[in-house]
Amino acid sequence: MPPLWFHHQANFGHDIPGHPERPERIRALEARMERDDWFGWERREAPAATYEQLTAVHPERHVEL
């Protein structure tokens, strides 16, 4: 099974200067991967996370932002 790359449009709303998950970095990574046929990775659309899923991995105060 090839490695998987999960993507969701909500990623582009995570716009915190200097954060590694910022939109311009994700766009640059995906553009590079696209040029090289995703390095053999499989690209999938991720479903939106539920509040419960988000608070399982992030402090509630971050989710409330």
Domain ranges of the chain: 4-63
**pLDDT reported for residue 4:** 94
Structure tokens at 30: 């995906």
**pLDDT reported for residue 1:** 87
Tell me if 63 sits within 8 A of 54, measured CB to CB: yes
Give residue-wise pLDDT tens across range 13-63.
Answer: 888 888 888 899 999 999 999 999 999 999 999 998 899 999 999 999 988
Q: Is the pLDDT of residue 65 over 70?
A: no
Q: Can you tell me the distance from the alpha carbon of 39 to that of 34, in angstroms, rounded to the nearest whole number?
A: 8
**pLDDT reported for residue 23:** 92
Q: Read off the amino acid at residue 50.
A: T
